[in-house]
Amino acid sequence: PRSSSDRSDEGLGWRTRMRYVLTEQGEVALRGHRSHEVVPAADCRIAHPLVRAAVADRVFPVRDAGETEVEVEVAASMSSGTAVVTRLPGPSASSGSGSGSEVETEIVEVVRDRRFRLGPGVFWQVHPGAPEVLVDAVLVGLAPRAGETALDLYAGAGLFAAALAEAVGPSGTVVAMESDPPAVASAARSLADLPQVSLRGVRVSPGSLRGLAATGADVAVLDPPRAGAGRAVMQALLALGPRAVAYVSCDPASLARDLAVAVAQGYSLVTLRAFDLFPMTAHVECVAILTNTPGGERGTHAPA
């Protein structure tokens, strides 16, 4: 049963990652909609209770020499019941469960019984239900098989790489590409027991993808930033001939642009699902599944 403080089913209390700006008094605040107005927000109603507890009645040191503005980031884990507060830029300001418990230097998330060890600032989905939901959507859409070669582009902390590695097994290969050094370090810690994962700290680009021409790819997942992958990356990816591609996107406009490139390359959009992973906002997360149709036939656009 859910506690009285858990209101995620009402669109409240779900956000496990928050970035605040500090007021002149050292209290956490957010900026007003489409403005520079600083609004105190220690009790932001979409923030998870662990996040709110970590900043409640808290006064932070405001500025060091040369700083004009200070931000703090709060990351909470429902898996461990802890929250880490990080002053940006700089080392963790404080951490723990908000009740004086043992201090942690990283956030630990658990998905499908795997522990993901995340350093401060490493990207992770902000809705606690998102990782499991998105992994399920990707695996159902790709149906990876034992022994196949899979790509995880913009791999972050290795969420999809781990799931793909389990699916392709020891005889398969997962190539994971990520350019953010802290994310690569987190993925390396979390996936150390999966020798079939080749983790590469490189930017996803036509050049880095052309380096895979010798092996090709059977399936691929990409989860790019809001700007999307772009035409050149999409063309280089599809030139490897994956039979199925899962495109995870937080921006429908850039997703549509990149899907048009895939369709022009002979791929078919077979499913497109939208998930309300940002309640009380206008944002949605989408998962599109593309397949390589022999002869370049166009597929149908299947609703969620």
**What does the pLDDT look like over 40-84, one tens digit per residue?**
888 899 999 999 999 998 998 876 655 567 889 999 998 889 999
* pLDDT computed for residue 87 by the predictor: 82
Whether 2 is in a domain gets the answer no
Q: What is the pLDDT of residues 189-207, one digit of tens each?
A: 999 999 999 999 999 999 9
Q: d(Cα 149, Cα 214) in Å, to the nearest integer? A: 12
Residues above pLDDT 70, as percent of the chain: 86
Query: Pick from 70, 86, 104: which residue ends a domain?
Result: 104
In the chain, how many domains are there? 2
Beta-carbon count within 10 A of 179 CB: 15
Give the tens place of pLDDT for each residue, 263-276.
999 999 999 999 99
Same domain, 288 and 146: yes
Domain extent, residue 49, equals 8-104
pLDDT single digits (tens) 139-148: 999 999 999 9
Residues 274 and 136 in one domain: yes
* Same domain? 140 vs 289: yes
Together in a domain, 220 and 292: yes
What is this structure's pTM? 0.85
CA-only gyration radius of the chain, Å:
20
Q: Does residue 81 lie within any of the structural domains?
A: yes
Q: Are residues 57 and 204 located together in one domain of the fold? A: no
Residues of the chain with pLDDT under 50: 1-6, 91-92, 95-104, 295-304
Q: Considering the candidates 163, 234, 250, 261, report the single residue annotated as catalytic.
A: 250
- My answer on whether 140 and 72 are in the same domain is no
Q: Select from 160, 73, 59 the least CA-distant residue to 119.
A: 73
Whether 122 is covered by a domain: the verdict is no
Residues 171, 59 share a domain? no
Domain of 171, CATH number, reads 3.40.50.150
Residues 139 and 269 in one domain: yes
Helix (H) or strand (E) holding 237: helix 231-238
Q: State yes or no: is 250 an active-site residue.
A: yes
pLDDT at 10: 73
